[in-house]
Amino acid sequence: MMMLPVAAAPPADTERRIQELVARMTLDEKIGQMSQSSGWSSPLSDKDHAEIRAGRWGSYLNAGTLQDKIAAQRIALKESRLGIPLLFGRDVIHGYRTVFPIPLGQAASWDPALVEAAARVAAQEAAADGIHWAFAPMVDIARDPRWGRIAEGSGEDPYLGSAMSAAVVHGFQGRALDAPGSIAACVKHYVGYGAAEGGRDYNTAWIPEVLLRNVYLPPFRAARDAGAATFMSAFEALNGVPASGNTFTLRKVLRDEWHFDGFVVSDWNSIAEMIPWGYAADEADAALKGVLGGVDMEMVSTTYYDHLKSLVDAGRIDVRLIDEAVANILRVKFRMGLFDRPVEPAKFAMESPESLETARRLAQESIVLLKNEGAALPLSKSARVAVIGPLADSAVDQMGSWVLDGRPEDVHTPLAAIRALAGDAQVAYAPGLENARDTSHAGFAAAVAAARSADRAVLFLGEDAGLSGEARSRAFLNLPGAQEALIDAIAATGKPVIGVIMAGRPLVFHDAAAKLQAILYAWHPGTMGGPAIAGLLYGEASPSGRLPVSFPRTVGQVPIYYDHMNTGRPPSEAERGVPAGTPINPKGDTSRYVDVDVTPEYPFGYGISYSVVKYENLRVSAPRMSKSGEITVTADLVNTGARDADETAQLYIRQLAASIVRPVRELKGFQRVRIPAGEKRTVRFALRTADLSFWNARGEFVAEPGQFQVWIAPDAEHGLRGEFRLE
């Protein structure tokens, strides 16, 4: 992957201003800069005014109206002793007023340029409302779909995750942090939070350093190299040390190795939460370990403000550490131009036609066609269609988790979009269930009647918005409520049934899938999800999404991910799908289950379209590659169907022997290619030494000589294979 340019060093004048300002600050004012409040009353109270004048807080999150923020900033700049501006933060996770697909859905587009454009829209809308700072992107690698926050990231792969991480940073921050419409990114959750044990939120993670460096750190490094202004420490304990007190990740890696010079903010209350973890004895000890660990700003909890002064007075913390943290915070404020920017923000339109079109395009590209038996899709506009399921017309659920500023009244639902395309007379609607978790069958009769009156049924299935996101871990991954019974009832009519699944994670629906002729996986697609879904259902475009995460056959396979290590007894190709005996009398002594195939239900990178693209004629430019050279890998992609297709060709490698066991495949490149019907396109990838390198057991980033396999493939399970040797 091509490395993005590292942000330029701050001008000497900025550093001079920072040092002069720190020298003038009292200890109370310094600790105020290191403190973030969760908000205030609206309008501002006398107490709020007094605290801002005194420099009590350096930042606010979720703070009041635009006019409140303008008033507060005017007080900070004009009435406080040193005129230090406030920093206003907000959870701008997948859009502001215009809501885009959840980040996991955005990753399914495999289109970083479009993801960057969406982040730019979100930044401009947030900036127009006085927001300076977004608590995003979340770049945690997640390989356990039970974890609710898998919805907020880009899935299981470090290469794809790095591409999406950099795209969001570039979209938020634009060409310059101090430009109108730019907001600071906050890369989270640093680091390893996606590996929380058992998929349980806020839990512990055990990640060996080799795995940490090869898998979990790369998307954070990509964000840093893209110029990310801030990082957020995570909730979990990493290898026994809470992330907000972890000197290895925050000081050794982030500061010493990556030379990051922005600031680190804790996650909500996570400094104080080092006490229940058993890592800090009390609040003073938590404040001590937070600062020593490398957290510059404390979010919401007040251990810093309450205890740092006494810790400095007692000689337990060197004031130079305080000065360093404050300088990091001020550096970002200077880079954003907050000292010199007008108090009133620049105006940008909310939900402009352009932003809505970006949202529609991204939703369309994120939707993955998993099945299309007998060319059940696309639908004909002359056919009568039964639209069934509560998620067909639920604006709130369509937006998904972590939507603070989107409005349900702005959402275009699938039901409305289908009616607009096909005409009201061609559409019968019955929700069948009151909501996605409803267990009552009371609405089934109306849904069955609607299906019988139609030529085809489109059944909207999945999770409501409240079932994924923070603190939404699930032990079961099945369709909730009575949805599977509803599928049975509709399938019993004999009418073809198309399933559209909205969810914040991979779900398990093997038995249900057998009763559906076609399946579109739409994630939670945001404001314009309805038109995107309807356009795909009726063939106005061909599906092009690809899975950013493996889908398990059953929850018992979790964790399941494509770039796993091999074993000394790997299952053979002949064993795939073959019953492996019983627990008493298993067949074959290989690393597999006795009661389910070892493969995923749908592999990483998978997705089909309304056409068929064949991969042909793989060429590897040379049998050997020197450490200073490169290998070019090419293949022909032929669209054998009658419709144009957007194909995502994926490049994978495998090193067959090395000093540590290497994954069976690793993604090293991808290209979205438009291929007209009946035509051929050639894709070309270049591999260099850096692409073949990894962190070894000695903590070295190395390329080791040896034999490599290489694939150009439509997903992580298939493709054309070649070989070469690194000398």
pLDDT digits (tens, 9 = 90+) for 260-287: 999 999 999 999 999 999 999 999 999 9
For the cut 80, the answer to whether the pLDDT of residue 405 exceeds it is yes
Structure-token pair, residue 225: 């190299």
Give the count of beta carbons closer than 10 Å to the beta carbon of residue 377: 24
pLDDT in tens, 304-330: 999 999 999 999 999 999 999 999 999
pLDDT of residue 595: 85
Q: Are 502 and 523 in contact (CB under 8 A)?
A: yes
- Rounded to whole angstroms, how far apart are CA atoms 650 and 301? 45
**Taking Cα atoms as reference points, which of 576, 648, 572, 640 lies closest to residue 610?**
640
Q: Are 371 and 497 in contact (CB under 8 A)?
A: no
Helix (H) or strand (E) holding 76, with range, is helix 66-78
The DSSP bridge pattern shows strands 456-462 and 497-502 to be: parallel
**Taking Cα atoms as reference points, which of 550, 587, 560 lies closest to residue 571?**
587
* Confidence tier at 2 by pLDDT (50, 70, 90): very low
Cα angle 642, 644, 646; round to 5: 140
* pLDDT more than 90, % of the chain: 92
pLDDT in tens, 119-135: 999 999 999 999 999 99
Q: Which residues contact 175 (CB under 8 A, 6 or more apart)?
A: 182
For the cut 50, the answer to whether the pLDDT of residue 552 exceeds it is yes
Q: Does domain 91-234 have CATH number 3.30.720.210?
A: no
What's the whole-number mean pLDDT along residues 711-727? 98
pLDDT of residue 588: 72
Helix (H) or strand (E) holding 160, with range, is helix 158-173
Please state at what angle helix 444-452 crosses helix 483-491, rounded to 10 degrees.
30
- Rounded to whole angstroms, how far apart are CA atoms 546 and 229? 30
pLDDT of residue 1: 36
Task: Sketch the domain layout of the chain as residue ranges.
Answer: 91-234, 366-537, 613-726
* Confidence tier at 39 by pLDDT (50, 70, 90): confident
pLDDT of residue 233: 98
* Confidence tier at 7 by pLDDT (50, 70, 90): very low
pLDDT in tens, 670-696: 999 999 999 999 999 999 999 999 999
| Bridge partner list, 133 | 89, 184
Q: How far is CA 152 from CA 401, 468, 472, 502, in A?
A: 8, 9, 12, 15
- Rounded to whole angstroms, how far apart are CA atoms 204 and 277? 10
Q: Which residues contact 37 (CB under 8 A, 6 or more apart)?
A: 56, 57, 59, 60, 61, 63, 300
pLDDT in tens, 157-206: 999 999 999 999 999 999 999 999 999 999 999 999 999 999 999 999 99
- Rounded to whole angstroms, how far apart are CA atoms 472 and 489? 29
First to last CA, the chain: 21
- Count CA atoms closer than 13 A to 474's CA, side-chain side: 24
What is the amino acid identity at position 311? L
Q: Which class is domain 366-537?
A: alpha beta
For the entire predicted model, the pTM comes to: 0.97
pLDDT of residue 644: 97
The DSSP bridge pattern shows strands 237-238 and 666-675 to be: unpaired
Q: Are 686 and 1 in contact (CB under 8 A)?
A: no
| Sheet of 630-639, strands arranged across | 613-620, 630-639, 680-688
Of 48, 144, 267, 405, the active-site residue reads 267
What is the amino acid identity at position 246? N
CATH of 613-726 among 2.60.40.10, 1.10.10.10, 3.40.1280.10, 1.20.200.10:
2.60.40.10
Give the count of beta carbons closer than 10 Å to the beta carbon of residue 445: 12
Structure-token pair, residue 436: 């996605």
Check if 267 is active-site: yes
